[in-house]
Structure 1
Amino acid sequence: MADPTPDPATATPDGGTTTTDEPAVPETDLPSDAFDAVLDAIGDLAPDERIRFEGFAVGRDPDAEGAYVLEPAGDDLRTGLSERDLHAALAERAPRVTDWYAFERVVGEFGPRRAFLRWIEDADGATVATRYAALSEGIERAWGQLRITATVTDRGERRYEVRHVDDAGVPVDDLETHDDPLDAREIVKLDGKGRYRPLKTAPSLRRGWAFPELGPRDAYELVETVYPATVANWHREREGDLDVNHWRETMERQSGIYGVIETWDRGEGHEHVNWVAEACCDDSQCLKRREWEYDEETDLDVDGGDGVFPCREPCSVVVSAARKWTRLESEQPRTYEFELTPSEKEQLEAVVDAVADGRIDEIREADTKEGANRYRARFLRAKLFDEEGNLGGVPTDPDDGE
């Protein structure tokens, strides 16, 4: 199985490696809501329990009613602190307190959202000082075709800018800006040419927009709107809990018009599934990394790709395409005879490759050396097709009556 952690090559930090030379932490205030959250959390603790931050802990003083204790790493225990004293002590450690508040209270429960937002700034590997220094400059992460830039305010609040990766250097004023993550529902419908996108993880997300200042929850909701369930499945895979439904068991669940796919296990069986996976699940067609195989015991011969999102079962696009191909493959093969020059054979191969790889728009009209050039294709059609648009081949084993 491939490494479930998305490629951090675009991240500003050095992968979370901690050094002894800690960067200077940008000056951070201690907001009243963060301090109030600490007091509320302490109020829920037993007298001998502590809230633990990076490098220190606080709690109630069991020997002095209404007082607090602070346990700094490497220093003597401080007891009998008044609320004012505790505030002053925490204000001196504001970055670590606001970091606790950002994830414990603003982001909230353990799960995909928290894991994802912590991954963005490598919160499980880098110190607060390292992360806050990097956040002050902006930490960049890639998630599919999204470019996510995380920053921190002087109150320790996280802010996230999200845009298309190909718009990285475009001034935000030149982009269509949004502040509601649900606006992404319209963005993901069509590609840059106005064509419907049936597969949300296809590498065809259109450019020209930005969400310049989102909070943590909105940033997560935006990512889930653009790429549904990708964070959840990424998190399951990291935790070792990804449940994979392979081709065979998925097809056994199909009914009605899709039940015909179950009949596609004749002969070598999974050879046909290899063709489906090669056609639909290549990196050029989908950003997911295919984790499903033919069945629990039988792997496919086609590589699953390098996408950052694990694909746990054949998607609706694959199932729909497989149904069509099942019907087409049920036709009895026939042998046809064509007369082609070697160059024309190579040209037909080039046309199929260009269409399959989505390169038609890249071939210039003036480049007649390219086999899939439009004018060359039109010349070949004029030469080989009849007036009804049929390729003029001759069946060598015609049916009776033809």
Structure 2
Amino acid sequence: MAEPAADSTDSATNPEVPDIDLPSDAFDAVLDALADRDPGDPLRFEGFSVAQDAEGGDEDATGAYRLDPVDGDPRTALSERELHEALSERAAAVTDWYAFERVVGEFGPRRAFLRWLEDADGATVATRYAALAEGIERAWGELRITATVTDRGERRYDVRHADDAGVPVDNLDRYDDPLDARDLVTLDGKGRYRPLKTAPSLAGGWAFPDLGPRDAYEAVETIYPATVANWHREREGELDVTHWRETMERQSGIYGVVKTWDRGEGHEHVNWVAEACCDDSQCLKRREWGYDEETDLDVDGGDGVFPCREPCSVVVSAARKWTRLESEQPRTYEFDLTPSEKEQVEDIIDAVADGRIDEIREADTKEGANRYRTRFLRAKLFDGEGNLGGVPTEPDEEDEE
């Protein structure tokens, strides 16, 4: 297992480092790690390394230690007590090692994500611990995650909706079990089912204010399933993307009809689908799939921090419906609209598509999608059967002749 590279700054003497106590668990973990190494094989921290002192003789091989600062003279033949004192002076670096090597563990998405939260791959321990003492905030979709550190170097995390940033915990519903997040993501703020967990419709009013590293990761992955895993794959250059054509070719049953929908070289139908479903206003993922491996789409893929590696079930389901609708033969319908009424129809479509209907005040009749103004248009243009302009959707047999 790789060790963090030694840094030229000895964090023991850096005045930015907050006062950190060296917990016995961390010190015991250092001793265990050294016991698993050959004498002289160092365990590296930021700014120094420690090893069993190979020069101490066979009888001292397991009881004498060596500390090598990056800048300064080495200290040799240290007893266990002396090593504890030396590491206590460098508690920040030791607890940082312990937090990621022993508490977090595996070199995978969880570790990468938790290190990303505090910029552990780009900042020194001193800088990070000073920032953690104040609280480091990161956005993940609609989440606001705040990482802090205790006086023992332990990481604690506050996970909540971004809209609730700064709200006292006592004013929110508090949760401690990360699996409770399964209930929080089911419905939006209006009580409607959320079929797409990465839609920007996560309800707020709750907080996980005191999670450890593993639980914080579990809560985030429960709220936004597989987003950390795919984000990590992308960072490692291992994101496996499945494009539109491949996804549609494997559809079967009622979804098999989607395979018949192909508009030729322009693939404009797929652009329409992506524009409708994969915009930032509809999904927080960043679309990485195209029509096929050689053919990208002409619409923006979004700016989300986590990638979308294939058309999701919502896209496939919507495409199935649109496949059937687009199979209809176009017809010409004639009815009269004033210029303002044409613009109003456009306003209504835009407002519905952008989800702005609830934002339009009832008294604002200057807004085309205003409810009263829309009802007036319906009263004027619809006949008793609900046909726009009195024109039925299906023409009469006389018209067909």
Q: For this structure pair, what is the TM-score category when the shorter chain's length is used for normalisation?
A: over 0.9
Shift of 1:235: 0.8
Structure-2 separation of matches of 1:163 and 1:396: 49
Show the counterpart of 1:367: 364
TM-aligned CA deviation for residue 362 of structure 1: 0.3
- CA distance in structure 2 between the partners assigned to 1:117 and 1:23 by the alignment: 25
* Secondary structure of 1:337 counterpart: coil
Deviation at 1:170, TM superposition (A): 1.4
Q: CA deviation at 1:63?
A: 2.9
Tell me the CA shift for residue 335 of structure 1.
0.6
Amino acid at match of 2:318: A
Answering whether residue 28 of structure 2 is matched by residue 31 of structure 1, we say no
1:60 to 48, 52, 62: 52
Q: Which residue of 1 aligns with 2:287?
A: 290
2:40: which partner in 1? 48
Give the match for residue 211 of structure 2.
214
Could you report, residue by residue, the CA deviation over 1:83-130 in whole angstroms, capped at 9, with x for unpaired residues? 111111111111100000000000001011101100111111111111
Say which of 216, 239, 243 aligns to 1:242: 239
| In structure 1, distance between residues paired with 2:316 and 2:219 | 27
TM superposition shift of 1:396: 11
Residues 147, 156 of structure 2: 8 Å contact kept: yes
Provide the aligned C-alpha RMSD in A.
1.8
SS state at 1:141 partner? strand
Describe the SS at the equivalent of 1:254: coil
Match of 1:71 among 68, 73, 77: 68
2:87 is the counterpart of 1:90? yes
Matches of 1:374 and 1:39, distance apart in 2: 72
Checking the alignment, whether the CA contact within 8 Å between 2:382 and 2:390 is kept in structure 1 is no
Residue 383 of structure 2 contacts residue 390 of structure 2 at CA under 8 Å; is this kept in 1? no
- The answer to whether the Cα contact below 8 Å between 2:387 and 2:393 also exists between their aligned partners in 1 is no
Deviation at 1:71, TM superposition (A): 1.0
Determine the C-alpha separation between the residues in 1 that align with 2:395 and 2:365: 37
Task: Give the TM-score of the pair, scaled to structure 1.
Answer: 0.92
Cα displacement (A) at 1:309: 1.1
Match of 1:120 among 100, 113, 117: 117
Query: Are 1:335 and 1:395, in contact at CA under 8 Å, matched by a contact in 2?
Result: no
Please tell me whether the aligned partners of residues 159 and 216 of structure 1 are also in contact (alpha carbons under 8 angstroms).
yes
In the TM superposition, residue 279 of structure 1 has moved relative to its aligned partner by 0.2
Retained in 2: the 8 A contact 1:244–1:312? yes
> Which ranges of structure 1 fall in alignment gaps of 5 or more residues?
1-17
Deviation at 1:36, TM superposition (A): 0.5
Once the two structures are TM-superposed, the CA of residue 268 in structure 1 deviates from its matched residue by 4.3
Shift of 1:386: 2.0
Task: Map 1:12-23 onto structure 2 (within 5 A).
Answer: 23=15
> Does residue 356 of structure 1 match 2:358?
no
Q: 1:318 is matched with which residue?
A: 315
Tell me the alpha carbon deviations over residues 243-299 of structure 1, each in whole angstroms, 9 at most, x when there is no partner.
Answer: 111100111111111111011114446110000000000010011110000011111
Alpha-carbon shift at residue 342 of structure 1 (Å):
1.0
Instruction: Tell me the distance in 1 between the aligned counterparts of 2:147 and 2:336.
Output: 61
- TM-score, with length taken from structure 2: 0.93
Give, as a single letter, the amino acid of the residue that structure 2 aligns with 1:204: S
Residue 300 of structure 2: aligned partner: 303
Aligned match of 1:110: 107
Q: How many residues align?
A: 384
SS in 1 for 2:55: coil
| Distance in 2, Cα, partners of 1:30 & 1:347 | 68
Distance 1:318 1:130 in 2: 44
Task: Please report how far the alpha carbon of residue 353 of structure 1 lies from its aligned counterpart in structure 2 after TM superposition.
Answer: 0.4
Does the CA-based 8 Å contact 1:338-1:392 persist in structure 2?
yes
Are residues 23 and 400 of structure 1, via their aligned partners in 2, closer, same or farther at CA, if it must alter by over 3 Å?
A: farther
Higher RCO by CA contacts (8 Å cutoff, separation 6 or greater)? 1
Shift of 1:329: 0.4
Deviation (angstroms), 1:387: 2.0
Structure 1 partner of 2:185: 188
Please tell me the residue identity of whatever aligns with 1:344: E
Note if contact 1:177-1:212 (Cα within 8 Å) is conserved in structure 2. yes
Structure 1 residue 73 displacement after superposition:
1.3
Instruction: Map residues 229-268 of structure 1 onto 2, 5 A cutoff.
Output: 229-268=226-265
Whether the 8 Å contact between 1:42 and 1:51 is mirrored in structure 2 is yes
Separation in structure 2 between the aligned mates of residue 396 and residue 309 of structure 1, nearest angstrom: 43
CA contact (8 A) 1:335 1:396 kept: no
Tell me the residue number matched to 1:205.
Answer: 202
- Any conservation in 2 of the 1:22–1:130 contact (CA below 8 Å)? no
Q: CA offset at residue 395 of structure 1?
A: 7.2
In the alignment, structure 1 residue 330 sits paired with structure 2 residue 322: no
Specify the alignment match of 2:98 in structure 1: 101
Residues in 2 aligned to 1:209 and 1:395: alpha-carbon distance in whole angstroms: 50
1:13 alignment partner in structure 2: none
Q: Deviations for 1:185-223, whole angstroms, at most 9, x for unmatched residues?
A: 011011111111111111111111011100000000000
Between 1:387-396 and 1:82-91, the stretch displaced more is 387-396
Relative to structure 2, which stretch is displaced further, 334-343 or 57-66? 57-66
Letter in 1 for 2:37: L
* Cα 1:131–1:397 shift into 2, 3 Å: closer
Say if 2:158 and 2:211, in contact at 8 Å, map to a contact too: yes
Q: Deviations over 1:29-56 (max 9, x none)?
A: 0000000000111111122311100011
Checking the alignment, whether the CA contact within 8 Å between 1:294 and 1:300 is kept in structure 2 is yes
Q: Residue 53 and residue 396 in structure 1: after superposition, are their counterparts in 2 closer, same or farther (change >3 A)?
A: closer
